[in-house]
Each structure stands twice: as structure tokens, then as C-alpha cells.
Amino acid sequence: MKIDTLNQGVNRRDFLAASGKTALGAAMVVGAGTLLVPSQGWGMELKSLKPETMATMIQMARDIYPHDRVADKYYAKAMRAHDDAGAGDADKLAMLEDGVAELNARAGKAAEEKGYASGGYLDLGWEADRVAILRDIEDSGFFQAMRGSLVVGLYNQKAIWPLFGYEGASAQLGGYIERGFDDIDWV
């Protein structure tokens, strides 16, 4: 019996071209003013940003602070404030749309150089390729606005604190005096 090897007939270029979209890029469904991710059970209505722009920002947020155990919806929640702000601030909206357009242009160029199928940031399947783009723009106002908003917008979400092992407020439980303030025995 003849067994095909996995990569039989697949040259390097085809393999790279097949590297595909990011997980979010593959899962999302875009409608008029809405971004839906049915497989993850969440979606958002948008006031100002294009849904594709928001999706790209969510991916960018994950690439800035990549916590593999934190679901996309928490990054989306952190990005919502930008959409809210964009609704009343044309300059802010333009900064975000332009920033994402620039990101997509750079992604397209990277895809071309590497021989991937052409596309935008969400079509760049390898994190390392996306991070290389972010490193190039990290001093830009757009990047800093994104990163700065995440420091509070992501890490101040109580819902993700358990993933880091942080228990939050303790006074209502009487502090930790009876709950393990000195419980380690490995030192």
C-alpha cells in the first residue's frame, strides 16, 4: 500500500500561501455596523468604526498583549472605548481608521515579500509577521493609543483576573489572615 507523505506535492510557496488567516479573521462575520464571532458566542454593534477595522484592532490588541488563555471577547471589550470615542470625535475616528489602513498596507507588503496570498493584517497568519509590523510602528500615535488603552482596558477587567490567579478585593472576606496569607511551604 502506498502512503502519501503529508507534504507530497506541496512546495514551500504553496505551503506559505496556505498559512491563512488569524483565528479571529477566520471566525468573524461582518455585517452592517456589526462584528459577529458566532463560534465564540459574541458580537458587537459599532457606533463609529468599520467592523473590519474593529476586528483588526482586536487582533492587534491580542498581538500587543498575547495571553493565550484570554478569549477574544475581552480584547474586544477593551477596544470598545475606541469605538465609543470615535462616535463623537472625527479626528480620533480618522486616526484609528488610518492607523488600521496603514497596518493593512504593511501586511499586504509583507505578504508580497514572503510570497503569501495577498491580504490585510487579519490575513497574516503568523504572529511573528504581525509583530514585526507592530515593532515598526510602535512609536506611532496609533500604536501608543492602542497599547496605552489596553493597560487599563484589558488588565482591569475583573473577569480575567482569575486567569492570572489574582483574587481581587478581600476586605469583604476578612482579608487573608485566615485564608492563606502565609500558606506556601516550598521555601
Partner 1 sequence: MAAPYDLNDDSVVVIIGSGAGGGTLGNELAQKGIDTVILEAGARHEAEDFINDEWDSFGQLAWLDKRTTSGDWRVAKDFSGLPAWIVKAVGGSTTHWAGASLRFQEHEWRAKTHYGDVEGANLLDWPITAEDMAPYYAKAEDKMGVTNTHGIPPLPGNNNFKVMEAGAKKLGYKRVHTGNMAINSQDRDGRTHCQQSGFCFQGCKFSAKWSTLYTEIPKGEETGKLEVRAKSHVLQIQHGDDGKVTGVLYADADGNQHVQKARIVAVAGNSIESPRLLLNSETSMFKDGLANSSGMVGKNYMRHMTASVYASFDKPVNFYRGTTMAGIIQDESIHDPSRGFVGGYEMETLALGVPFMAAFLNPGGWGREFAAAMDAYDHMAGMWIVGEDMPQETNAITLSDEKDQYGLAAPNVHFSDHANDVAMRNHAWKQGMAVYDAVGATHTHPTPPYPSTHNLGTNRMSVDAKDGVVNKWGQTHDIANLFISDGSQFTTGAAENPTLTIVSLAIRQADYIAEQMTQKNI
If binding is defined by CB under 8 A, does position 174 make contact with partner 1? yes
Per-residue contact string for residues 42-71; x = within reach of partner 1 by CB under 8 A: ----------------------xxxx-x--
DSSP conformational letter for 172: G
Give residues with Cβ within 8 angstroms of 134, minimum separation 6. 60, 63, 64, 143
If binding is defined by CB under 8 A, does position 159 make contact with partner 1? no
If binding is defined by CB under 8 A, does position 136 make contact with partner 1? no
Binding span for partner 1 by CB under 8 A among 14-22, 43-51, 95-103, 160-168: 160-168
Residues between 76 and 135 that touch partner 1 (CB under 8 A): 131, 134
Cell reading at 132: 514585526
Q: Which candidate, 76, 98, 75, 95, places its Cα nearest to that of 85?
A: 95
CA distance 58 to 41: 16
Residue type, 65: Y
Which CB sits closer to partner 1, 51 or 153? Answer: 153
If binding is defined by CB under 8 A, does position 166 make contact with partner 1? yes
Which CB sits closer to partner 1, 85 or 131? Answer: 131
Residue type, 177: I
If binding is defined by CB under 8 A, does position 15 make contact with partner 1? no
Minimum Å gap between C-beta 140 and partner 1 is 13
Minimum Å gap between C-beta 154 and partner 1 is 8
Minimum Å gap between C-beta 157 and partner 1 is 9
Binding span for partner 1 by CB under 8 A among 30-38, 46-54, 100-108, 149-157: 149-157
Q: Say if residues 59 and 25 touch (Cβ distance below 8 Å).
A: yes
Q: Which candidate, 101, 108, 47, 113, places its Cα nearest to that of 79?
A: 47
The count of other CB atoms within 10 Å of the CB of residue 146 is 24
CA distance 4 to 147: 46
Cell reading at 33: 455596523
Site residues for partner 1 per CB under 8 A:
64-67, 69, 131, 134, 138, 147, 151-152, 154-156, 161, 164-172, 174-177, 179-184, 186-187
